[in-house]
Structure 1
Amino acid sequence: MRILLAEDDDALAARIATALAEAGYAHERVADGVQAEFLGQTESFDAAVLDLGLPGMDGLSVLHRWREAGLALPVLILTARGRWHDKLAGFDAGADDYLTKPFQIDELILRLRALIRRAAGHASARLRCGPLELDVNAGRFLLDGGPLGLTAQEFRILAYFMHHAGRVISRSELGEHVYDNGYDPDSNVIDVLIGRIRRKLSAPLLHTVRGQGFRLAETP
C-alpha cells in the first residue's frame, strides 16, 4: 500500500514516515499543497494523509480539487483546528477521517488501515483467503493459524493482494502501490518476490494469469 503524505512540519512528517514504514506502507512525502494536488491526480496511492495548513495551497483546496476531478482515494485530514465547524468543513470537502493535532501516531496508523480496508470493500479487519489470514489491525499474517514470516517487501506485496483478493493485478500496479519512489518496471524484482511468497505459502493461492499479472485466490 502506498500513502501520499502531505505535511509541511519536517519533524512530524519524519515521525509519520517512520511509522508508515514500520506498518508496511510505502509512501511519498510532499511539503506543500501544490505538489500534493498534482501528485494526487497523477500518481497511484491507496490513501492520503493531508495536513490542512499547507503552504502554496491549503489542504481544503487540495481536497476540493481532488474530489472535483473524481479522485476517490481515502483522505485522512490532519489539522491543529479542533473546532466543530472546521471539522465540518473538512468532511464537506470530501474527507474520510479527521485527526486533530497533537495525536498518537499509532492512532493514525489504525485509522489509515481502516480507511484502506473499507475502500477495498472489506467490513472485517481480518481478511481471509483459504488458509491465509491478514489481521489488518495487528499488521500480521497467519497461515493455517500460525504466524507467517515475511520480509517487509513480501509483506507489502501480499497485503496488497489480500486487499484485492480475486482480482488480477499487473506487475506495474504492484510496483506503483508497494514501492516508494525508484521502482524500475523493467526489473524482475516483483517476480522474484512473488516466487519467494509462493514458497512460504506452501498452498497454491497465488496464481499467474498469463499476459496480465497475478491473482490471489483459492482456485486458479
Structure 2
Amino acid sequence: MRILIVEDDPLLSHHLKTELQALGNQAHCAATATEGLYMAKDYPNDIAIVDLGLPDRDGVSLIKDIRHAGIRMPILVLTGRANWQDKVSALDAGGDDYLVKPFQKEELVARLNALVRRSAGFIKPEIKADKIVVDLLAKKVTVDETPLDLTAFEYDLLEYLVRHNRQVVSKQRLLDVLYQDQEGDPNTIEVMMSRLRKKLTQAGQDNPISTIRGQGYIFEVQVN
C-alpha cells in the first residue's frame, strides 16, 4: 500500500513510517494540513492516516478539503481525542474510520488493510483474476497456485494494475507509485513491464496487461 501519514509529532510519524515500510508498504509523511493536502493531491495514495491536532489547522478541515478535491482514498483518523463529538465530526467530514491514541500497531495495520480492501471493492485480503491470486497481506502472487517470483517493484506494479483493473494507468502514474518523490526513469517501467509479462506467461497465464499507445497500460482481466 501507498500510505500518506499526516502527523505533526515527529517521533510518532517516524515510528509509523518505519513500521509500515517494514511491512512492505510505501509511506510518506506530512507535518501540517497544508503539506498533507498537497501530498494527497499530487501523489497516488491508497490510504491516508490523518491526525486531528495539526499545527496549522484542524485535521477535520483537511479531510473536508481532501473530499472537496474529489479524492476518494480512505482516511483513517488518528488522534488523542477520545470524546464522541470529535469522532462524529471527523466521520461526517469524510473520514472512514477512527483510532484513538495510544493504539496497538497490529490494530492500526488491520484497520488500514480492511479500509483499502473495502474501498477497492474487495472483502477478502486477496484479489483473484483468472489464474492469478494477489495476496494483499503477504504481498505475494501465485499463478495457478504456483508462487510467482517477483521483485518488490514488480509486485507493486502488478498490485496497482490489478487494483485498478480495466482502467488505463499512465506511465507517469506508475513512476509515482514506485518512486514517489524520487526521480525515476520512464524506461524502467517498460523494462519491468516486459519482465512482469514474461513471468506471468511463463507461469501459464495469458498476458493480462495491454499497452495503450500514448496513454499507458491496462490490466484487462476481470477481478473478483
Query: With structure 1 as the length reference, what TM-score do the two structures score?
Result: 0.88
Question: How far is the alpha carbon of 1:218 from its aligned partner?
Answer: 4.2
Distance in 1, Cα, partners of 2:60 & 2:47: 16
Answer yes or no: is the 8 Å Cα contact 1:169–1:212 preserved in 2: yes
User: Aligned letter for 2:51?
Assistant: D
- SS of the counterpart of 1:188? helix
* Structure 2 unpaired stretches of 5+: none
Equivalent in the alignment of 2:189? 190
Distance in 1, Cα, partners of 2:6 & 2:86: 18
Q: Percent identity?
A: 38
- Pair 1:62–1:140, CA change in 2 (3 A): same
- SS of the counterpart of 2:44? coil
Equivalent in the alignment of 2:210? 207
Distance in 1, Cα, partners of 2:116 & 2:23: 13
Distance in 1, Cα, partners of 2:60 & 2:127: 33
- Pair 1:146–1:102, CA change in 2 (3 A): farther
- Pair 1:187–1:139, CA change in 2 (3 A): closer
Answer yes or no: is the 8 Å Cα contact 1:46–1:177 preserved in 2: no
Equivalent in the alignment of 1:172? 172
Distance in 1, Cα, partners of 2:101 & 2:158: 32
Which stretch of structure 1 is more off in the superposition, 150-159 or 115-124? Answer: 115-124
Which stretch of structure 1 is more off in the superposition, 114-123 or 79-88? Answer: 114-123
- SS of the counterpart of 1:39? helix
Distance in 1, Cα, partners of 2:35 & 2:176: 18
Correspondences of 1:1-220 after superposition (within 5 Å): 1-184=1-184, 187-201=186-200, 202=202, 203=205, 204-218=207-221
- SS of the counterpart of 1:162? helix
Answer yes or no: is the 8 Å Cα contact 1:160–1:178 preserved in 2: no
Question: How far is the alpha carbon of 1:55 from its aligned partner?
Answer: 1.0
RMSD (CA atoms): 2.1
Query: With structure 2 as the length reference, what TM-score do the two structures score?
Result: 0.86
Distance in 2, Cα, partners of 1:208 & 1:144: 24
Q: How many residues align?
A: 218
User: Aligned letter for 2:211?
Assistant: T
Greater relative contact order (Cα < 8 A, sep 6+): 1
Note the alpha carbon deviations across 1:23-67, whole angstroms, 9 max, x for none: 333232111122112332344322211111111122112112222
- Pair 1:212–1:64, CA change in 2 (3 A): closer
- SS of the counterpart of 1:121? coil
Answer yes or no: is the 8 Å Cα contact 1:2–1:178 preserved in 2: no
